[in-house]
C-alpha cells in the first residue's frame, strides 16, 4: 500500500501538475480581470455626481400667473413643466410608459442585463451604436446627470448611477422623477405638462389612446410629434397600445377601440395671449426682485389683480374702437404683399396665427386669390371669402378692386365653422394705437390693461411707458386746487371771453376748442363743456405752481413745467398716472396705489410677498365729492354725454390735444376707474374732429358696460351743501391785457 503513489505512471504526475498550472493561471487571470474592472470603476466613477443630490433635487418648473379668481393667465419657463406626485399619473399612463420603455421596470435593479446584452450584440453586428436598451432608471440617470453622447464611457456611468438610484429610491419614487423630467417635444417636459399641452387636460383624466400617444413620445419627441407628423405619431401610438395588449394591461376590445380612435389633439392655447402687456409688466417686476433664474425655473405662484372677463372686454373694446376710427377715415391701406417679397404663398405663416383665434378676433390674413367681385383669404387653418358687403365701407364696389393675390390684409373674424370656413370683414391697420387701464377704486387693483393694438408687433406698453399730452383731462387738477382752497364754488360765474396772459416770451392768447366764447357761465358748465379760457383763468388765479403741487399729490410724477398752458394738459403723462390719480375722486379724497401683484409663493407654497392695498390721502372728502359732482356734469350734459346711455352713476373727463394728436377719456363709477388713450406712436394727427369724445369715449363705454354689471345699487357720495356768504366771480383779466 505504501508504494501505491510511487507506482503511479509518470503521466499521472505530469497531469496533476498541469491542472495545477491551469488553476493558477485562471486565478491570475481572474485577479487581473478583477483588478482591471476595479480600475475601470475607479476611472469611470471619479467624476460621477453625488447621488445624494437627487434627494433634494427639484427639476426646473414653470412659474404660473393667476388672475383674481385663481385662473391661470400666464406662465414663465425655460422648460414648460408641471411637477406632480406619483398618484397624479393614472394607471393607464403608467402601464403605457412601462410597457413601451421598460417592461421589467418593477423587477430589475437598475439595468436589464439580457436586454442590454441583446442590444450590444446588435450594435456589434451592425457596426454602429443604435441600440440603447436603457431602462427607465438609466434614462433618468442620463437626463439628470449625464450628457446625451453615445459612448462606452457614458454608458458605464449610466449603469453605475442607475444601480445607486435603485438602492436609494423606491420604484414609485423613480417613476415619479422620470415622469416629471422626460422631454416630450415643443418645449414640454413631464407627462403632466404633456397632457395639458397636447390635450388641455390633467394627466389623471387621460384616455387610453391619449396616454398611449404621450407614452410613445420619449423615444423621439420631434420625430413622433403629433403636431408636425400626425401619421407617424398615430403609428407610434398604436404600437404602444399593442405593447400594452401583449403585457396584459388592456383587453383586445380596449386595444381595438383605442387604435381605431382618431388623433384628436386639443393644443393648449398660450395663456399669455389674454393680457400680454400686463404679463410683461409682471415679468419685469418679478425678475428685478427675484432674478431671472428663479422666475423662469423656480415654479413661483403669482396671484395678480387682473380680472379675465374685464380683460377680454378691454381687448375687444380697444380693437373695435380702433376699427371704428379706421372706417371713419376711409380706405388708405398700402398693403404688404408676400408674393412681391418672394415668399412662397403656400408656406406663408403669420405670427397672428399662432394665437387662439375666436369670433371677434382681429388677425392678419393672406389673400390667396382675388377676383373682380370677391377675394379669398386664409388665416391659420381657416378660409374665408370677402364679399362686396364686407368691403363696402372702403367705398369700392368689391374687395377684388383693392386687393391682390399675396396681400396681407387685416380682418375681423365674425364667425368660425368646424369645417375651417369663416366669415370675416375687411378692416384696416393704419398704425393707430390705443391703450386702456382699469383700476378697482377700493383696492387699487389693476383689473384690465391693454398696451397697444398687437403685442406681437410691438411690445411697447402704451399704458405704462408712453408719456403723451393729456389735454383737457388735466383740468380736474386745476379745479381741485381752486375748490380745495375755497377760491371757487361750482355755481360761481366765470367769464368765457377773449383774454391774454403775459409771459416771458410775450403775450399768451389762448382759445377754446370750438373757437367761440360763451360769456358768463358757471364753473360747473365750464368744466362740463371743457372751456379752455375759464380753466386758464382759474389756474392763473390759484397759481400754476399750486396746480402742479396738487397734481403731485394725485401721484403725477412726470415732469410738469411751470407755465400756464400746463393747465390745459400741455404736459406728457402716462395713462397709469392719470387713471390712478382719478381714483381719488370716487374714494373721498384718497388715491388707491395701483396694485398688480397680490401675493407670490414659491414652489413649496411658502409666501414670498403679500401685498395689501395701499392708499394716500390727497384732498379732503368735501373737495373730492364736489369734484365728483362736477365731473358727473361732463357726462350728464357735457363732452361725455354719450355715456348717459349706460344709465349708471358715472363721471369723467375728455382730453384732446392740439392738432388731434392724442384723444383721452378718463372716468369712473363708484367702484372702478378706467382710462383710455388713442393716438399714433409718432405724434401725428388722428384727423379732424378726432376728440376724446369721438375716439376714446366709445372704448371706455364698452369696458364700463361690463364693469358696472350687477352694481345697480351703487352711487356716489353726495356733495356737501356749499354756502357762500358773498356772490363771487373769479377775477377776470381785461381782454386788452
**Active-site residue list:** 101, 472
Alpha carbon distance 556, 577 (integer Å): 6
Alpha carbon distance 318, 239 (integer Å): 50
Residue 125 CB partners (closer than 8 Å, separation 6+): none
**Alpha helix (H) ranges present in 291-379?**
292-297, 308-328
Residues linked to residue 424 through DSSP beta bridges, in sequence order: 413
Long-range contacts, 349-358 (Cβ 8 Å, 24+): 350/379, 350/408, 351/456, 351/457, 352/379, 352/380, 352/454, 352/456, 353/379, 353/380, 354/270, 355/269, 355/270, 355/273, 355/456, 356/269, 356/270, 356/273, 357/382, 357/413, 357/416, 358/413, 358/416
131 by Cβ neighbours in 10 Å (0-12 / 13-18 / 19+) ranks as: middle
Residue 344 CB partners (closer than 8 Å, separation 6+): none
Assess contact for 711 and 704: CB atoms under 8 A: no
User: Degrees (nearest 5) of the Cα angle 410, 416, 420?
Assistant: 95
Long-range contacts, 388-393 (Cβ 8 Å, 24+): 390/424, 390/425, 390/426, 391/425, 391/426, 393/327, 393/330, 393/331, 393/426
Assess contact for 151 and 38: CB atoms under 8 A: no
Alpha carbon distance 623, 488 (integer Å): 11
Alpha carbon distance 549, 562 (integer Å): 10
Residue 597 CB partners (closer than 8 Å, separation 6+): 282, 285, 302, 303, 304, 305, 609, 611
Alpha carbon distance 528, 547 (integer Å): 19
C-alpha distances in Å from residue 298, one per residue of 174, 461, 672: 22, 26, 35
Beta-carbon count within 10 A of 505 CB = 7
Length of the chain, in residues: 737
Beta-carbon count within 10 A of 610 CB = 11
C-alpha torsion 353→356→362→365, nearest 10: 20
User: Degrees (nearest 5) of the Cα angle 31, 32, 34?
Assistant: 65
Beta-carbon count within 10 A of 717 CB = 14
Alpha carbon distance 340, 355 (integer Å): 26
Which DSSP symbol is given to 642? G
Q: What is the 3-state secondary structure (H, E, C) of 181-241?
A: HCECCCCEECHHHHHHHHHCCCHHHCCHHHHHHHHCCCCCCCCCCCCCCHHHHHHHHHHHH
Alpha carbon distance 413, 420 (integer Å): 12
In 529-659 the beta strands, taken as DSSP E runs, fall at 572-573, 590-592, 597-601, 607-610, 615-617, 651-656
Q: Which sign does the torsion angle of CA 379, 383, 385, 390 carry?
A: negative
Assess contact for 608 and 601: CB atoms under 8 A: yes
Which DSSP symbol is given to 595? B
Residue 506 CB partners (closer than 8 Å, separation 6+): none
Helix, coil or strand: residue 558: coil
Residues linked to residue 422 through DSSP beta bridges, in sequence order: 384, 416
Amino acid at each position: 500500500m505504501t508504494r501505491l503513489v510511487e507506482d503511479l505512471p509518470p503521466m499521472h504526475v505530469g497531469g496533476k501538475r498541469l491542472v495545477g498550472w491551469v488553476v493558477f493561471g485562471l486565478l491570475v487571470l481572474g485577479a487581473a480581470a478583477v483588478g482591471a474592472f476595479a480600475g475601470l470603476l475607479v476611472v469611470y466613477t471619479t467624476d460621477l455626481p453625488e447621488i445624494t443630490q437627487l434627494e433634494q433635487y427639484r427639476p426646473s418648473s414653470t412659474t404660473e400667473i393667476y388672475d383674481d379668481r385663481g385662473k391661470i393667465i400666464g406662465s414663465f419657463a425655460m422648460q414648460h413643466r408641471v411637477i406632480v406626485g406619483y398618484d397624479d399619473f393614472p394607471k393607464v399612463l403608467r402601464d403605457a410608459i412601462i410597457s413601451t420603455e421598460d417592461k421589467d421596470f418593477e423587477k430589475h435593479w437598475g439595468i436589464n442585463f439580457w436586454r442590454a446584452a441583446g442590444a450590444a450584440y446588435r450594435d456589434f453586428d451592425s457596426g454602429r451604436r443604435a441600440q440603447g436598451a436603457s431602462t427607465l432608471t438609466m434614462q433618468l440617470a442620463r437626463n439628470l446627470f449625464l450628457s446625451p453622447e453615445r459612448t462606452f464611457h457614458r454608458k458605464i456611468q449610466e449603469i453605475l448611477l442607475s444601480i445607486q438610484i435603485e438602492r436609494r429610491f423606491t420604484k414609485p419614487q423613480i417613476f415619479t422623477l422620470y415622469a416629471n423630467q422626460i422631454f416630450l417635444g415643443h418645449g414640454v417636459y413631464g407627462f403632466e405638462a404633456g397632457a395639458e399641452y397636447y390635450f388641455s387636460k390633467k394627466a389623471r383624466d387621460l384616455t387610453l389612446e391619449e396616454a398611449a400617444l404621450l407614452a410613445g413620445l420619449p423615444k423621439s419627441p420631434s420625430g413622433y410629434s403629433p403636431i408636425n407628423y400626425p401619421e407617424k405619431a398615430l403609428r407610434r401610438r398604436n404600437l404602444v397600445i399593442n405593447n400594452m395588449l401583449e403585457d396584459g394591461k388592456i383587453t383586445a376590445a380596449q386595444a381595438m377601440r383605442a387604435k381605431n380612435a382618431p388623433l384628436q389633439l386639443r393644443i393648449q392655447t398660450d395663456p399669455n395671449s389674454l393680457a400680454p402687456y400686463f404679463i410683461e409688466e409682471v415679468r419685469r417686476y418679478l425678475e428685478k426682485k427675484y432674478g431671472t433664474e428663479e422666475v423662469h425655473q423656480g415654479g413661483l405662484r403669482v396671484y395678480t389683480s387682473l380680472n379675465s372677463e374685464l380683460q377680454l372686454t378691454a381687448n375687444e373694446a380697444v380693437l373695435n374702437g380702433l376699427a371704428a376710427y379706421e372706417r371713419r377715415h376711409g380706405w388708405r391701406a398700402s398693403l404688404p404683399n408676400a408674393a412681391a417679397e418672394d415668399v412662397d404663398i403656400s408656406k406663408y405663416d403669420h405670427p397672428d396665427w399662432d394665437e387662439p383665434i375666436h369670433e371677434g378676433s382681429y388677425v392678419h390674413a393672406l389673400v390667396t386669390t382675388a377676383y373682380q367681385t370677391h377675394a379669398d383669404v386664409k388665416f391659420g387653418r381657416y378660409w374665408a371669402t370677402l364679399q362686396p358687403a364686407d368691403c363696402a365701407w372702403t367705398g369700392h364696389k368689391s374687395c377684388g378692386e383693392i386687393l391682390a393675390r399675396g396681400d396681407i390684409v387685416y380682418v375681423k373674424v365674425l364667425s368660425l365653422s368646424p369645417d375651417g370656413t369663416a366669415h370675416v370683414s375687411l378692416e384696416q391697420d393704419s398704425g393707430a394705437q390705443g391703450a386702456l387701464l382699469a383700476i378697482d377704486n377700493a383696492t387699487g387693483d389693476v383689473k384690465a390693461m391693454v398696451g397697444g393694438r398687437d403685442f406681437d408687433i410691438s411690445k411697447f406698453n402704451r399704458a405704462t411707458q408712453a408719456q403723451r399730452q393729456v389735454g383737457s383731462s388735466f383740468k380736474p387738477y386745476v379745479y381741485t386746487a381752486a375748490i380745495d382752497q375755497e377760491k371757487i364754488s361750482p355755481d360761481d360765474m366765470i367769464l368765457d371771453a377773449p383774454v391774454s396772459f403775459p409771459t416771458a416770451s410775450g403775450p399768451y392768447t389762448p382759445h377754446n376748442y370750438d373757437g367761440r366764447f360763451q360769456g358768463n357761465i358757471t364753473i360747473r358748465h365750464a368744466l362740463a363743456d371743457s372751456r379752455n379760457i375759464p380753466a386758464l383763468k382759474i389756474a392763473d388765479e390759484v397759481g400754476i405752481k399750486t396746480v402742479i403741487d396738487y397734481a403731485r399729490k394725485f401721484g403725477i410724477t412726470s415732469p410738469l413745467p411751470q407755465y400756464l398752458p400746463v393747465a390745459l394738459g400741455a404736459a406728457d403723462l402716462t395713462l397709469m398716472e392719470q387713471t390712478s390719480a382719478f381714483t381719488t375722486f370716487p374714494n373721498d379724497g384718497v388715491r388707491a396705489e395701483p396694485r398688480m401683484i397680490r401675493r407670490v409663493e414659491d414652489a413649496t407654497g411658502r409666501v414670498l410677498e403679500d401685498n395689501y392695498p395701499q392708499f394716500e390721502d390727497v384732498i379732503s372728502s368735501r373737495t373730492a365729492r364736489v369734484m365728483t359732482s362736477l365731473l358727473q356734469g361732463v357726462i350728464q350734459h357735457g363732452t361725455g354725454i354719450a355715456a348717459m346711455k349706460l344709465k349708471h352713476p358715472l363721471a369723467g373727463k375728455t382730453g384732446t390735444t392740439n392738432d388731434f394728436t392724442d384723444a383721452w377719456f378718463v372716468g369712473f363709477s363708484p367702484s372702478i376707474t378706467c382710462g383710455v388713450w388713442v393716438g399714433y406712436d409718432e405724434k401725428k394727427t388722428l384727423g379732424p374732429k378726432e376728440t376724446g369724445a369721438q375716439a376714446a369715449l366709445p372704448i371706455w363705454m364698452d369696458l364700463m358696460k361690463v364693469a358696472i354689471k350687477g352694481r345697480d345699487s351703487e352711487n356716489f357720495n353726495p356733495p356737501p351743501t356749499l354756502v357762500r356768504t358773498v356772490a363771487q366771480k373769479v377775477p377776470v383779466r381785461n381782454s386788452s391785457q
